[in-house]
Structure 1
Amino acid sequence: MRTEPVTFLCERKIRGSMKLLLLSLLCIIIVRAQDSNLDIRGHRPYDSPREPRPTYRPPPAPVDSGVVYRARPTSPPRAGQLARRVVIQDEGGCRHFEEELGVMCPTGCQLQTAIVKQEGDVRRAVNDLNINVNNLAQSSNIIYRHVSSMESSLKDREKASENNKNVITEYTTELEEQHSFIKENVDNNIPSSIRLLRAALDSVRAKIQSLESAITTQKEYCHNPCTVTCNIPVVSGKECEDIIRRGGDVSQMYLISPDPFFKPYKVYCDMTTEKGGWTTIQNRQDGSIDFGRRWDDYRSGFGNIALPGSKKFCEVPGEYWLGNDKISQLTKLGPTELLIEMEDWEGKKATAIYNRFTIQNEQSNYRLSLSGYRGTAGNALIDGASQLFGENRTMTIHNDMMFSTYDRDNDGWFSIDPQKQCAKEDGGGWWYNRCHSANPNGRYYWGGAYSKDMTLHGTDDGVVWMNLKGSWYSLKRISMKIRAVFGQSK
């Protein structure tokens, strides 16, 4: 049996299909011709007045020439038996995949060529896919570990949260107990305490009003300087040394006149100590006079010169400061010596004597000059505090210093803070350095010993002579007396 080419078989099938298509069209035309009387609206009707009549053009004749294959002899399959596949060989040993598909399908060689061409791309795609799969696996492992870590952390946090809840519950319970305790105290104890405090406050207010009344009375009483009615001795002189030479040998208040062009003034003369003739320029004995005064007060003087005693004259010295102008005037009359007498609260006495003592005038801020110490109290004014050494001790020397008060700062403490002033912190006017080893014009403390808590500024602001009793002991008595040196060498 002859084997026909596959191409011929495909063309034959195509021609058969075209015949069937033409036969179908012919049937449709015949049916439409039979139904020409029907009112069909899907077309566009002809308008005879406006449009020319169409003419019929016959279609071209179908192809009726070419390769004609003979029919393929086949035997029909018997019942229950499959048709045998016919293998059609092509040139070069290649064959089509299926006989029924015809030559339109590629041969095995063509498929092999196409597959070989695509093998490289497929391999690269597979390799890329393997790399992506590996990366995805690594990422999945990382994500898994991260999720595991987060899960562990979440469990820890849940555990910590549970513990915190327990702690909060405990604190809440304790807080409720404290609240109940406080509420009970507020409701029961505090009202009674408030009543007690109000009673104490009313008592304090009454005492304050009583003190204010007493202060007002004292202010009215002391509006003018205190005066005494003592008889003043007839004898007088330039100063107390001159008076004792004129026969005034009793310690009491006298009138002196250092300069005939100025008004005489009263002083207390000590005619018994160290052969007498001492003019008292300062005296502290009972704290009755406040020495925290202004510059003008220290310039003119303040306090009580003397008080009447058992006799009919003023033989008892009072607390006072004679005045810087008067002291300067007296020390400029000639060589002057200074006697400082002290007594503690146990009755022990000490002295400091300086052979030369001079005070300059107000233009020089009453600068102090001293020399020639002797005595038992310690040379605080020239050598400074014996408890200190070096630069710290130098800061407590009073010699060659200017006078300072809280409203006129001339001390050796140079600070940018205006509140850092020796006179403000140490309670009086004095020849302060930075600040003192002696403070005769400080605050008067009863009993001697005092502490920082008792002071206004936390400083040793008492009536202090450091070389005798230290910084935190306020003397019971201290007095400063001067005497002219006439033809004597001391």
Structure 2
Amino acid sequence: MAMLVKLVFLLCHLAVSLAAPVPCEHRVASLEEEIKVLRNVIDNQHGYILELHSHQAQQLEHIPNSHLGPQNLYRDCSEVFADGNVASGLYVIRPDGSPTVLSVYCDMNDGGGWTLFQRRKDGKESFDRAWVEYKHGFGDLHSPSGEFWLGNDALHHLSSQGTYDMRINMEDFEGKTRFAEYKNFRVDSEKDQYQLHLGDYSGDAGDALADVHSGQHPAAVKFSTYDKQPGGDAKCVRHSKSGWWFSRCDSGNLNGHYYRGPYQAMTDDGVVWYTWHGWWYSIKSVVMMVRAADLEHPQAISQPIKAARGITYLGH
């Protein structure tokens, strides 16, 4: 009996549908309503992710630093390279002023001696992180293709040891590569909101950070994240979904949202270097690295001497 009732109901519904087709505008309105619901779901999920990041950030504040006694470790990858170590990979260093040793990736290409502090490859790591996460660093440093941010504290200690150059290597989805180099790179301490200082530009990618060193800004650009915006417009920072030095919103934001293709976005929130591909193209891969401006050429030294210096090579 129940099955018969259901069958009669189905037939009646079908007859009504055939007799009175739904007007096109009603269907459009229905689809728009469904899209609105889906957007709410996405917004809720994004909010949940941000809550998880905030919780993780709070836990990071309680991680004790393992303070070390004096050790004669290399201060950066430039010293590692100058001592005859020409293999790219992971090394242990200790910059001046750093309370801990650092595991860093040293790139011995492009003249050698580069200390990587950022790498983007495939979008597996979210760069929409809290202030404290950018402070301490995050991501997969140990994998050759892992994405990471070394940490603003580490970047401050590195760049405050002397005069440093910064190099940015970029690749698009067509396999083309470009680079940008800046002289006199320095990042201030957290007390000064990790202000960025840059000198003269060279390269073939264009100077997307021209505002930082052109004199158009009243001061060096401060770092900003979604939960702290000392150096950028809050709306711009939230729109960009990243932590960065926002000199002109997204003009050169290499920590933006990763898109798996030339561009799939409705807004310009990707991995952007506008002087190369404009605002509407998200770069495929990026590495950012620093090197001492007075880098010496590699020297052939014996293994016992290296051991005395305290060098630790972790490989790839």
Tell me, yes or no, if the aligned pair for 1:422 and 1:434 is still in contact at 8 Å. Answer: no
Matched, 1:246 2:54: no
Letter of the aligned partner of 1:238 in structure 2?
A: R
Q: Give 1:351 deviation, angstroms.
A: 0.4
Instruction: Give CA-to-partner distance per residue, 1:419-445, whole Å, 9 cap, x none.
Output: x42221101000113413101000000
Tell me, in whole angstroms, the C-alpha distance in 2 between the residues paired with 1:260 and 1:317.
29
Bigger RCO (CA 8 Å, 6+ sep): 2
Specify whether residues 487 and 266 from structure 1 end up closer, same or farther in structure 2 by C-alpha distance, changes over 3 A only: closer
**Stretches of structure 1 lacking an aligned partner (at least 5 in a row):** 1-181, 191-200, 202-207, 226-234, 308-315, 385-393, 414-419, 453-458
**Does residue 405 in structure 1 map to residue 201 in structure 2?**
no
Work out whether 1:276 is the aligned partner of 2:112: yes
Match of 2:289 among 465, 481, 485: 481
Alignment-mate amino acid for residue 479 of structure 1: V
State TM-score, norm by structure 1. Answer: 0.45
* Structure 2 Cα separation of the partners of residues 287 and 322 of structure 1: 17
**Matched residue pairs, number?**
242
Q: Is residue 268–residue 317 contact of structure 1 (8 Å, CA) maintained in 2?
A: no
Q: Would the aligned equivalents of 1:462 and 1:474 in 2 still touch at CA under 8 Å?
A: yes
CA distance in 2, matches of 1:398, 1:468: 26
**Contact 1:382–1:399 (8 Å) recurs in 2:** no
Quote how far apart the aligned CAs of 1:260 are: 7.3
Partner of residue 448, structure 1: 262
Q: Distance in 2 between matches of 1:329 and 1:360?
A: 9
Corresponding position of 2:142: 306
Which of 175, 178, 185 is the equivalent residue of 2:17? Answer: 185
SS of residue matched to 2:78: helix
- 1:334 maps to which residue? 162
Counterparts in 2 of 1:11-410, with a 5 A limit? 184-185=16-17, 237-259=74-96, 262-272=99-109, 274-307=110-143, 316-383=144-211, 400-410=220-230
**1:122-172 per-position Cα deviation (integer Å, ceiling 9, x unaligned):** xxxxxxxxxxxxxxxxxxxxxxxxxxxxxxxxxxxxxxxxxxxxxxxxxxx
Structure with bigger gyration radius: 1
Q: Cα offset for 1:404?
A: 0.2
Matched to 1:300, the amino acid is: H
Note if 1:464 corresponds to 2:272.
yes
Distance across 2 between alignment mates of 1:332 and 1:381: 20
1:289 shift after superposition = 0.2
Please say if residues 90 and 106 of structure 2, whose CA atoms lie closer than 8 Å, have aligned partners that are also in contact: yes
Report the more deviating stretch, 403-412 or 327-336.
403-412
* Paired residues of 2:79 and 2:295 also in contact (CA < 8 A): no
Cα distance 1:444–1:486, how it changes in 2: closer, same or farther (>3 A)? same
- Match of residue 308 from structure 2: none
TM-score (norm 2): 0.69
- Could you give the per-residue CA deviations for residues 299-329 of structure 1, whole angstroms, max 9, x where no partner exists? 000001121xxxxxxxx24210000000000
2: CA distance, partners of 1:300 / 1:364:
16
Query: Structure 2: 5+ residue runs without aligned partners?
Result: 1-13, 23-33, 35-40, 61-71, 297-316
Amino acid in the other structure paired with 1:406: Y
Q: What is the RMSD of the two structures over their aligned residues, measured on CA atoms?
A: 3.3
Residue deviations 1:252-282 (CA, integer Å, cap 9, x gap): 111111137622111111012x211000000
1:406 offset after TM fit, Å?
A: 0.4
Q: Which amino acid aligns with 1:462?
A: G
The residue identity in structure 1 corresponding to 2:273 is W
Report the identity percentage: 38
Aligned to 2:245: 431
Deviation digits for residues 234-265 of structure 1 (CA, Å, limit 9, x no counterpart) = x9621101111222211111111113762211
**Matches of 2:281 and 2:98, distance apart in 1:** 44
What is the CA deviation profile of residues 383-440 of structure 1, one whole-angstrom value per residue up to 9, with x for unaligned ones?
58xxxxxxxxx6xx79811000000012343xxxxxx422211010001134131010
Q: Secondary structure at the match of 2:156?
A: helix
Detail structure 1 runs of 4+ shifted over 4 Å in the superposition.
186-190
Q: Aligned with 2:200: secondary structure?
A: strand
Partner of 1:106: none
Determine which structure has the larger strand proportion and give its number. Answer: 2
Name the SS of the counterpart of 1:286 in structure 2. coil
Letter in 1 for 2:81: I
- Decide whether aligned partners of structure 1 residues 186 and 305 sit closer, same or farther in structure 2, where only a CA change above 3 A counts: same
Matches of 2:241 and 2:158, distance apart in 1? 26
Q: Distance in 2 between matches of 1:430 and 1:254?
A: 26
